[in-house]
Amino acid sequence: MERRKKKYNWEPYVFIAPNFIGFIVFILLPVLFSLGISFTDFDIFKGFSHTSFVGLENFKTMFADEWFWVALKNNILYTAVTIPVTLVISIVLAVVLNNKTYCTNAIRVMIFIPYIASIVAISVVWMMLFNPSQGLINQFLIALGVSNPPGWLGDMQWALPAIMMVGIWMGLGYNTVIYMAGLQGISESLYEAAQIDGASKWQEFIYVTVPMLRNTTFFLVVTSVIASFQVFGTVNIMTNGGPGNATTVLAHYIYVSGFRYYKMGYAASMAWVLLIAIFGVTLLQWKYQKKHESNF
């Protein structure tokens, strides 16, 4: 009895309390609140007294809402393109930077800056780059001999790819730094063994580096998927979902529904569908990872 009592340490709880209370008040309660209102027709003008419970009505509306599906499709496209491209470029960058280059630190800082820079500043700069007549990108394309370069943000076909390009550029720094940390953990002896077996540099990369970075890659895929499903800032600033609905993504449509159409209940229900989708995808990834871990 005496022993059991001694085991109970309350100090750690007190130490995490400030953070935890903040989490409860500013994250957990609002999240639960949003679950609650997702079954109602709540909006800030109605207040609670005029809000009525609508059951699954919001979810039914959602599945018949053309905009929701377009947003989801754009989200999936965005994720499916940006993540593999970002990962491939950053793994190559990490290997290059890890080996013999000059000014490694300077370059590392340069590619990391987009990750910490203000998304508004980034978007504004990219809007200038994407300017169809005076922008750097199209000037460059014209110099290369492209006679009719894309209109980028004002073009139905190219607006989403333009947003993706910015997303990839922003993600590179962080991913590269994480990969570089991963590279430190690979034992030199593996490379020596490969060299003795006569492996080329390319083979070393494919058969040693890439498999040994599997856990790092897994970590990056999971976090990137979660982040990419929530892409909002670049879309909101650069295209506002347009032209037409070419760059409408879920987070943006949730915002529009909540704050432009004042349908908070509907917006909350979409946010929950987004949360469940992300959660589901993450679970799948864990399962896949576990299966492959055992083969290792």
Partner 1 sequence: MGKMLRKLTTGLLAGTLAVTTLVGCGSPNNASKDKEAASETAAPAEKDAKSSNGAQKLVVWGGVPAESGPQKLVDAWNSQNPDTPAEYVRYVNDESGNTKLDTGLLSGEQIDVFFTYSADLLQKRAESGMLEDLRNFKGDEFVNSEISGGMDAVPQINGGLYSMPTAIETIGILLNQKMLDAKGIKIPENWTMAQFMDIAKQLTGEFDGKKVYGTTVLYSELPLPIAETTLGGDWIYKSDTESNFDHPVFKANAMLKEMITNGSALPYEEVVSRKLAAYSHPAFLNGEIAMMPTAAWMLRYVKDLENFPHDFVTTFAPFPRLDENTPNPYAAVLNNHISMNSKSQNKDKAWEFMQFWVKEASKYVEKAPSWNKANQEEVVKLILGENSEKLFDAEAYKKVMLNPELKYSLVTKTTGLAQVMQIYKDETTKFILDATSEEDYYKNLKTKADAAIQKEVK
CB of 131 to partner 1, least distance (A): 5
CB of 10 to partner 1, least distance (A): 8
Placement of tokens 């300017």 in the chain? 131
Q: In whole angstroms, what is the distance from residue 252 CA to residue 80 CA?
A: 18
Nearer to partner 1, 233 or 243 (CB): 243
Nearer to partner 1, 90 or 123 (CB): 123
CB of 7 to partner 1, least distance (A): 15
Placement of tokens 């989490």 in the chain? 23
Neighbours of 176 (CB within 10 A): 26
Nearer to partner 1, 152 or 179 (CB): 152
Nearer to partner 1, 259 or 286 (CB): 259
Nearer to partner 1, 77 or 222 (CB): 77
Strand partners, 53: 40
Question: At 208, which amino acid appears?
Answer: V
Residues with Cβ < 8 Å from 184, sequence gap 6 or more? none
Give Cα 275 distance to the centre of its chain: 13
Q: Which residues bind partner 1 (CB under 8 A)?
A: 11, 14-15, 17-19, 21-22, 25-26, 44-47, 127, 130-133, 135, 151-156, 239, 242-245, 256, 259-262
Burial level of 290, CB count in 10 A (0-12/13-18/19+)?
Answer: exposed
CB of 66 to partner 1, least distance (A): 9
CB of 115 to partner 1, least distance (A): 25
